Amino acid sequence: MDFNVNIGLEGEAQELVTQENTANKYGSGEIEVYATPAMVGLMENASLKAVDPKLPEGFATVGIDLEIKHLAATPIGMNVRAKAILREIDNKKLIFYVQAFDEKEMIGEGIHTRYIIQVDKFLQRMQEKGKQ
């Protein structure tokens, strides 16, 4: 099946650093700076924005792998922007180069892999799993 995705597709996502997305709030640290889990989520969001709108009706992507480096801390009050570029396609597996920036510098980078799924079949498997 042709999923209408091509190498080079890009997506972006952004958010403001607040108390809600700090390491202290996430439980990933005790300091009130932008949390690594928040940055990872933003990178995933940028990746899905690159491809999910182009997929046929009833299809979506799910994250399956992350290799991320958090390079610099970001204080509360700064904006953070994530960018994803689709670098490789292997059937339903999509591999992205992802970066995150605050208002001063690059704060993170890495590789994120997503997989194209058929939503109804995926949800059916999850319902069956929940019944076990």
User: In this structure, what CATH number is given to the domain that contains residue 67?
Assistant: 3.10.129.10
Domain span at residue 102 reads: 10-131
Clarify whether 36 is annotated catalytic: yes
* 3 domain-assigned: no
> In the predicted model, is pLDDT for residue 2 greater than 90?
no
Q: With respect to residue 4, please indicate whether it lies within any of the assigned structural domains.
A: no
Give me the sheet containing 106-118, strands edge to edge.
Answer: 10-16, 79-90, 93-101, 106-118, 59-70
3-state secondary structure of 112: strand
Considering the domain boundaries, does residue 49 fall inside one? Answer: yes
d(CA 67, CA 95) in angstroms, rounded, equals: 11
The structure's pTM equals: 0.94
Active-site pick, 32, 36, 109, 113: 36
What are the tens digits of pLDDT across the range 41-50? 999 999 999 9
Q: Tell me if residue 44 is catalytic.
A: yes
Query: Which among 64, 132, 131 has a CA at the least distance from the CA of 92?
Result: 64
Exactly one of 44, 61, 74, 112 is catalytic; which is it? 44
Q: Give how many domains the chain has, as a whole number.
A: 1
Is residue 2 a part of any domain in this protein? no
Q: In the 8-state DSSP scheme, what is residue 56?
A: P
- For residue range 25-72, list pLDDT tens digits in order: 999 999 999 999 999 999 999 999 999 999 999 999 999 999 999 999
Q: 81: closest CA among 52, 53, 61, 106? A: 106
